[in-house]
Amino acid sequence: MPVITYREALGQALREEMQRDDRVFLMGEEVGVYQGAYKVSKGLLQEFGEMRVVDTPITELGFAGVGVGAAMVGLRPVIEFMTWNFAVLALDQILNAASKMLYMSGGQFPMPMVFRGPNGAALQLSAQHSQSFESWLAHMPGVKVVTPGTPYDAKGLLKAAIRDDNPVLFLEGEMLYNTKGEVPDGEYVIPIGKADLKREGDHCSIVTSGKMALVAVQVADQLAKEDIRVDVVDLRTVRPMDVEAIKTSVRKTNRAVVLEEGWELAGIGAQVVDYIQRDCFDDLDAPVIRVHQADVPMPYAKNLEKLAKPDVAKTIAAVKQVMYRD
């Protein structure tokens, strides 16, 4: 099976869906001539032309609104934000137009569109460019929120997102574009809302998504050397969430650690814990522990940034704590 990068997987998904359906087009800052801030759209302008690969001004609210209008008349826009930090400027179109249009129109106007771009912290991008938006966006009814952590998942889920008749918010890990993984040559689509078991064990469940799935896999591999076997449940989609996958794992291991990139208060992890306590309370042998970013704006200094981020060491400590081995 070919091994390609996360960015190449996303590019393949875009190209294949644009070839498959001429209603699909890409729009955003520097997606055409510059080929995308992270080179995801490499070669698409040359292949599909400027009517389907549209460079925009630095106007997130404006081109998000154009995308909403295009979806209302039957096109399937893919709106790229240079980063989800900048998408805050377009939140009115996402929250008050895209997410509500099908409901407010009594079913007359589906919203077959994708908003996509890098999410979460990179390296020393500081407070304003290092935020993780899963919980902010998943709070809205009427949207789907997808957080792929591997090239395989990125391609299969982006194809599913483009084909979906609902607005899909597609959050790509900012540190993932150069990561590599196996991606098959043939056609495949991953259903939105279906988790994936990245590692299998019976001592503890780690429930996670996005970039943190790679951290969780490293945790599992390190703990295996100490004969501690963990399930790694990669949600892949946080709205809708695969609650059955969470419950199945926790009922097997009787312990859970929830790992997320964002802040603690009202985070995705809080919702996961709620599902666990609601349906698996009697199965638990220890309280659920959450691992997350420190409750501060992301520092710029390297040493402070490292302290603020969730990582392998913090997650290992949490697993050992729920197993009473700390």
Q: Point out the residues that are catalytic.
A: 60, 129
Instruction: Kindly give, in sequence order, each residue whose CB lies less than 8 Å from that of residue 251, ignoring residues fewer than 6 positions away.
Output: 280, 283
Which contiguous run of DSSP H or E holds residue 272? helix 268-280
H-type alpha helices, the chain: 6-20, 44-48, 60-72, 84-87, 91-92, 101-104, 134-138, 151-163, 212-224, 243-253, 268-280, 302-308, 312-322
Residue 160, SS3 per DSSP:
helix
115 beta partners = 79, 169
Sign of the torsion angle spanned by Cα atoms 42, 5, 234, 322: negative
Distance, in Å, from the CA atom of 136 to the CA atom of 124, rounded to the nearest integer, reads 22
Distance, in Å, from the CA atom of 167 to the CA atom of 170, rounded to the nearest integer, reads 10
Which contiguous run of DSSP H or E holds residue 47? helix 44-48
**DSSP character at residue 259:** E
Task: Say if CB 26 and CB 52 are below 8 A apart.
Answer: yes
What are the φ and ψ backbone dihedral angles of 182, each rounded to 5 degrees?
-75, 130
Q: Cis before residue 240, ω within 30 degrees of 0? A: yes
Sign of the torsion angle spanned by Cα atoms 239, 245, 249, 250: positive
